[in-house]
Amino acid sequence: MSGKRIVIDPITRIEGHLRIEVVVDDNNVVQEAYSASTLWRGIEQVVKNRDPRDAGFFTQRVCGVCTFSHYKAGIIAVENALGIKPPLNANLTRTLMNSALFLHDHIVHFYQLHGLDWADITSALKADPKKASEEAFKWCDYPLVAGEDKLKEVQAKVAEFAAKGNLGPFANAYWGHSSYKFTPEQNLIVLSHYLECLRIQRIAAQLMAIFGAKQPHPQSLTVGGVTCVMDLLDPSRLGEYMSKLAEIREFVNRAYYPDVLMAAAMYKDEPSVLGDIGVSNLYTFKEFQIGKNEWLFDSGIIMDGDISKVLPVDAELITEEATHAWYADDEPLKPYDGKTNPHYTGLVDGESIGSDGEMVHTKVLNTSGKYTWIKAPRYGGKPLQVGPLANIVVNYALGNKYVVPVVDEFLSRTGLPLSAVFSTLGRTAARMLEAKIVADNTMLAFNALVENLKVDQETCAKYEIDNDKEYKGYYMGHVPRGALSHWCRIKDGVISNWQAVVPSTWNASPKDAIGQMGAYEACLIGTKLSDVTKPLEIIRKIHSYDPCIACAVHVMDAKGAKLGEYKLDASLV
């Protein structure tokens, strides 16, 4: 029988509530795919009529993982509206906090969220620790926590854990799946790094907290600048930042990088992680101010995978529509005309392949109608892919001096052509390369800050809000999951509307009115599953985007002005 449906809900090891459904043919090849968010919170309505200075605190709670991204975006959109230019110290401090977020997000993604899709920890129990240690040296001159003794200890710890017969959070996963490609020794190395990452991620969180008060949900930004002036003027605090950054950088270069090299070598013959670009229109935006007039990454758009041509971003071309989303208004609208009136039509009765391979009665998405809380954003009518893959490829194509040598070296060490980047493996590798570029260059911003503090200790610009005036402003940038923008209007001294177009909305988009798929859905088509009761190939692909769904659930509502009224002044962003 052809056309069997597989429901995967919950997709775990992500932020938020995500459901994936696919239909496979007789050969277990995916013919249709649907991506659905199953939670709506309505923060778009909550933020209205609030004091604009509070906007950042509300937008921050869109996501506790991207805990700095939306905070900064909410603050900058208001600054932009009010015409405030924060002092250089504030901008550079924000860069230091942003680095902490990127590094935290990317390492946790690879090990805690995505790693178990690549490494079978049960296989690590069979490894020879001595051989494993030798293996680690193949991929890195100075591997971290990968000496024979350390690996023995890790193996013993996990063996003891497994022997108890209760795997806790590791229970009932797809262990032993045929698409796992690492040797037992390689699995043991990744497992050791998994455990080490639990420690390192705490340091990355502290890195944020030094100037940010806490992580998640830091609290030291304010409209006009930053509030952590005492920390900035305290050399011991600066020293803390420097040394913690160095420790994380070591982890990136001596664990994360070699593990991805190893994955590239072992998985380059695994069809389910290659050639699945899904959506080959790539979009990224300028981010990481590292000097007075210098940024780490630049903006651009690549259409149809043509890296010979990078187009400037034209925000005028962005629309969102809700043909297949649980909102009342279907037609494509520019962000400032967007409407967010919930219209929930629910799931319908159906059948799906159960965990034992038999068809079972369950609920399924009404795929001919509305089936998700995520709208379909489009750029000139086309879907875009955002994220580290887009950021690295666009910046490589632009000849960015911080990006090109790192990509070239990676390609030469893996022996892969640039085209291999357009894949699940490529997304995973690009995220690591982005982490490396951030880790290796954050000291540029740090040093620029220290230099500037010698002559200038301003941390916050003064401003006034005129209740009789109307304001509008935006933030556009690149966050760990891709291009993010926030748009706001202020009237009578309060927020009159707010709009966010977020990375996971682009990638997790449902179909639009003419049936075009978003990146999650498109990349699944044609995937052959080796075991329909254990759809590891699907999970691995979806995880490669690092789904973060809370923010994608169309965040803010706005009516009124046209996006085109804004001139994009890149120096403000």
Using CB under 8 A, which residues numbered 74 to 113 contact other proteins? 87, 108, 112-113
Touching other proteins, residues 5-64 (CB under 8 A):
7-17, 38-43, 45-46, 50-51, 53-54, 57-58, 61-64
Shortest Cβ distance from residue 81 to other proteins (Å)?
16
Whether 5 sits among the annotated catalytic residues: the reply is no
Collapse the DSSP code of 386 into the 3-class scheme (helix H, G, I; strand E, B; otherwise coil) and give the result.
Answer: coil
The site map against other proteins for 449-468 (x = CB under 8 A) is: --------xxxxxx------
Is 523 labeled as catalytic in the residue annotation? no
The C-alpha angle 560, 509, 297, rounded to 5 degrees, equals 80
What is the Cα–Cα distance from 523 to 102, expressed in whole angstroms? 25
12/419 with CB nearer other proteins:
12
Which one from 5, 13, 70, 554 is the annotated catalytic residue?
70
The least CB distance from residue 183 to other proteins, in Å, is 20
Interacting stretch for other proteins, rule CB under 8 A, among 225-233, 404-412, 422-430, 474-482? 225-233
- In the bound state with other proteins, the residue whose beta carbon lies nearer, of 175 and 566, is 175
CA distance to 358, 362, 536, per residue, from 533 (Å): 9, 15, 9
Judged by CB, which is closer to other proteins: 172, or 368?
A: 172
Integer Cα distance of 103 and 84 in angstroms:
29
**H helix intervals, 180-226:** 184-212
Six-digit token string for 40: 């709506």
Site membership for other proteins, residue 400 (CB under 8 A): no
Residue with tokens 């709670």: 61
Q: What residues form DSSP beta bridges with 221?
A: 226
Contact 191, 158 (CB under 8 A): yes
**Is 460 considered catalytic here?**
no
| Alpha helices (H) in 143-297, listed in sequence order | 148-163, 184-212, 229-232, 235-251, 257-267
257-316 binders of other proteins (CB under 8 A): none
Q: Is residue 66 among the annotated active site residues?
A: yes
Closer residue to other proteins (CB): 63 or 449: 63
Among 131, 363, 413, 559, binds other proteins (CB under 8 A): 363
In the complex with other proteins, the residue whose CB is nearer, 299 or 352, is 352
521 is catalytic: no
CB-based burial of residue 209 (10 Å sphere; 0-12 exposed, 13-18 middle, 19+ buried)?
buried
481 is a catalytic site residue: yes
Whole-angstrom distance, CA of residue 301 vs CA of residue 272 = 27
From the list 431, 481, 486, 540, the catalytic residue is 481
Question: Could you tell me which of 559, 566, 41, 565 has the C-alpha nearest to residue 333?
Answer: 559
Contact mark string toward other proteins, 409..448, x via CB under 8 A: ----------------------------------------
Sheet holding 482-491, edge to edge: 471-479, 482-491, 494-501
70 belongs to the catalytic site: yes
Active site residue 94: no
Catalytic one of 299, 496, 504, 509:
504
Q: Which is nearer to other proteins, 10 or 239 (CB)?
A: 10
Q: Which helix (H) or strand (E) holds 145?
A: none
Min dist CB 305 to other proteins, Å, is 30
Q: Is 166 in the site for other proteins (CB under 8 A)?
A: yes
> Which residue numbers are catalytic?
15, 63, 66, 70, 481, 504, 548, 551
